[in-house]
A and B are shown apart, each in its own frame.
Chain A
């Protein structure tokens, strides 16, 4: 493994505060699996740690990331100009296993958790996609999802699509059509609800977890996530190397 140096190929603010960046990084882009992440050094200020950002898409030599500006690191990243170098590690972690998708996979995303699902949805050719956003000003990538899959959207305030939780849409769909596999990424409460739905309808699930990270490669053990082993014992697994995608039934939510 080595530290990768890519080049910003394009960089644009797609909705206020959310950026879409293409990183030209040669071979590394080809190796990327849906659900993996890169750990980016946000240079030009005093952000110390690298920031983990999911692979949104990968095509040819381009690795695409979409991120929301939150604090120090993502603010620095948002200043990057086309042609500037990007120092990152990755792609890292275990992504979504598309082999076990079956006939009727569901893809469920919420907020920043919708970004890593684009590459996944491309790899699956038969997914039903459900995306949740705060309001219509936060709708991102929706047209791209719609082009490749049957996509439904929900907003918390009803300003676009279904008024309410994305998991309500999922419940209705499972009720009527069932499913062969559920892939999800989003805030913890959403994932917890998805886990419950998966159990209720007897559908296997893969959940992508998020946790604050240090090294990003399994050395520092800070990115803990509680999981239950086959024998029922609860362990602290690590999001960066055991995940970020886990078998949904193993996740222990508080």
Chain B
């Protein structure tokens, strides 16, 4: 019997598949298609201290093998999540990752504090969301602020802390190192790449926010490259994501150095995406007689 479990910062996941934040709500919708016991973890929709309505529509545009989104962090707020949504998720074996976003360091700390007293398994700090004009980007792109905010939140977080890295930087290993130096227990990458699409007939951007975040198959090679570079730069675990739509894609991320992987955009194409990606990993392990999924992590043999 092969072993699909992975351990990240002391938290044991049944398998390395995590639902990526923002693609999966709070698990209820895709939970109608299969039991949430079947996936290792769920990173919930990005939470803010107060409820947020998000941006005006259109919030999505399809681009070649990808999508741009500009949801703008619409969410019911961290208190509502803890009271109304968390109990649903905790019925399952899946590990719950609270994804948080703030406008100030204090907001991140307040949220980490609130979540620390709950049944959430891990906290994922989104310092890279490109949609919120007030901040997001500023925290995520400068190594010094990444370290500062990680150190600050680390003090309030009584749960393992994941820092989600932005790909919109010149050298992602710098922000990864900064997160590790600040006390992050793990990093996740990549968040969306900033992009734009224009309707040439109306001469207006498709997204009401003008710009948005690119995800889906189009970003996969960039994401794999970044995971590989970050693997060589830090010692903490990595959750890899960006365009995963099959078991083969997931294995690529594991080989590049990821300890677990997340699936986002592909849920919209196939509601069974997470389960199918896991099946694909199992098939690969069978074919190559691999006993433990964790043996794949970082096993790429570069030239």
CB-nearest residue of chain B relative to A209? B57
Interface residues of B in 187-228 (CB under 8 A from A): 206, 216-217
Q: Taking the complex as formed, is A222 at the interface, i.e. its CB lies under 8 A from any CB of chain B?
A: yes
> Could you give, for residues 210-222 of chain A, a 1 whenever the CB lies within 8 Å of some chain B CB and a 0 otherwise?
0111111111111
Per-residue contact bits, chain B 51-89, to A (CB 8 Å; 1 contact, 0 not) = 001111111111011110101001000000000000000
Q: Which residues in window 18-73 of B have CB below 8 A to A?
A: 22-25, 28-30, 32-33, 45, 53-62, 64-67, 69, 71
Q: Looking at the complex, which one of B29, B60, B74, B265 makes contact with A217 (CB distance below 8 Å)?
A: B29
Q: Is A50 an interface position by the 8 A CB rule?
A: yes
Shortest CB-to-CB span from B265 to chain A, Å, is 8
Decide if B54 touches A3 in the complex (CB within 8 Å): no
Q: Which residues of B lie under 8 Å from residue A234 when comparing CB positions?
A: 53
Q: Mark A24-63, 1 if CB is under 8 A from B, else 0.
A: 0000000000000000010000111110000000000000
Contact in complex: B57, A224 (CB < 8 Å): yes
Q: Is B303 an interface residue (CB 8 A)?
A: no
A89 in contact (CB, < 8 A): yes
A85–B264 CA distance with the chains assembled, in angstroms? 26
- How far is B28's CA from A220's CA once the two chains are assembled, in angstroms? 12
Among the stretches B146-154, B234-242, B269-277, B289-297, the one at the interface with A is B269-277
Judge whether B58 and A212 touch: CB under 8 Å. yes
A211 to B58, CA, bound (A): 7
Decide if A224 touches B67 in the complex (CB within 8 Å).
Answer: no
Cβ of A219 and Cβ of B60 under 8 Å apart?
no
Interface residues on A, range: 20 to 34
User: A234-245 vs B: 1/0 string, CB under 8 Å?
Assistant: 111000000000
Specify which of B29, B53, B268 is in contact with A49 (CB 8 Å cutoff): B268
Q: For the complex, would chain A's binding face be called helix, strand, loop or mixed by DSSP majority?
A: loop
A49–B215 Cα gap in the complex (Å)?
12
> Of all chain A residues, which has the CB nearest B269?
A48
Task: Give A219 to B85 CA distance when docked, in angstroms.
Answer: 13
Is there an interface contact between A213 and B60, defined as CB atoms closer than 8 Å? yes
The chain A residue sitting closest to B264, CB to CB, is A220
Once the chains bind, are B66 and A48 in contact (CB under 8 Å)?
A: yes
User: Does A230 belong to the interface (CB within 8 Å)?
Assistant: no
Which residues of A are found within 8 Å of B67, using beta-carbon distances?
Answer: 48-49, 214
Chain A residues within an 8 Å CB radius of B272: 3
Residues of A close to B216: CB separation below 8 A: 48
Contact of B267 with A by CB under 8 A: yes
**A107 contacts the other chain (CB 8 A):** no
Tell me which residues across on chain B come within 8 A of A99, comparing CB atoms.
none
Is B24 a contact of A47 with CB atoms below 8 Å?
A: no
Q: Is the CB of B32 within 8 A of A221?
A: no
Chain A residues, Cβ within 8 Å of B29: 215, 217-219
Q: Report Cα–Cα, A163/B58, bound state, in Å.
A: 32
| A46 B270 Cβ-Cβ under 8 A | no
Known contacts A1-B33, A46-B64, A49-B62, A222 near B69 by CB under 8 Å: yes
| Chain B residues near A226 (CB-CB < 8 A) | 56
Task: Verify B25–A219 contact, CB threshold 8 A.
Answer: yes
Q: Which residue from A47, A72, A212, A218 sits with its C-beta under 8 Å from B59?
A: A212
* Candidates B30, B59, B64; contact of A219 at CB < 8 Å: B30
Contacts of B33 in A (CB 8 A): 1-3
| A220 adjacent to B268 (CB under 8 Å) | yes
Could you say which residues of chain B place their CB within 8 Å of the CB of A8?
Answer: none
> Is A165 on the interface with B (CB-CB < 8 A)?
no
Q: Is the Cβ of A3 less than 8 Å from the Cβ of B57?
A: no
Tell me the residues in window 96-117 of chain B with beta carbons closer than 8 Å to chain A beta carbons: none
CB distance from B217 to the nearest CB of A (A): 8
Given contacts A220-B268, A236-B74, contact A214 B69 (CB under 8 A): yes
Judge whether B59 and A224 touch: CB under 8 Å.
Answer: yes
A112 lies within 8 A of chain B by Cβ: no
A225 within 8 A of B: yes
User: Closest Cβ of chain B: how far from A37's Cβ, in Å?
Assistant: 15
Which residues of A have CB within 8 Å of B267?
215, 219-220
- Closest B residue to A213 by beta carbon equals B60
**A220:B71 contact, CB within 8 angstroms:** yes
Instruction: Pick from B25, B45, B65, B66 the residue with the most CB of A within 10 Å.
Output: B25
| 25 A-B residue pairings within 8 Å (CB atoms) | A1-B271, A3-B33, A3-B271, A48-B67, A48-B216, A48-B217, A49-B67, A212-B60, A214-B67, A215-B23, A215-B268, A217-B32, A218-B29, A220-B22, A220-B60, A220-B69, A220-B267, A220-B268, A221-B54, A221-B59, A222-B57, A222-B59, A224-B54, A224-B74, A254-B56
List 4 additional contacts besides A1-B271, A222-B69; criterion CB under 8 Å.
A2-B33, A219-B29, A220-B69, A236-B54
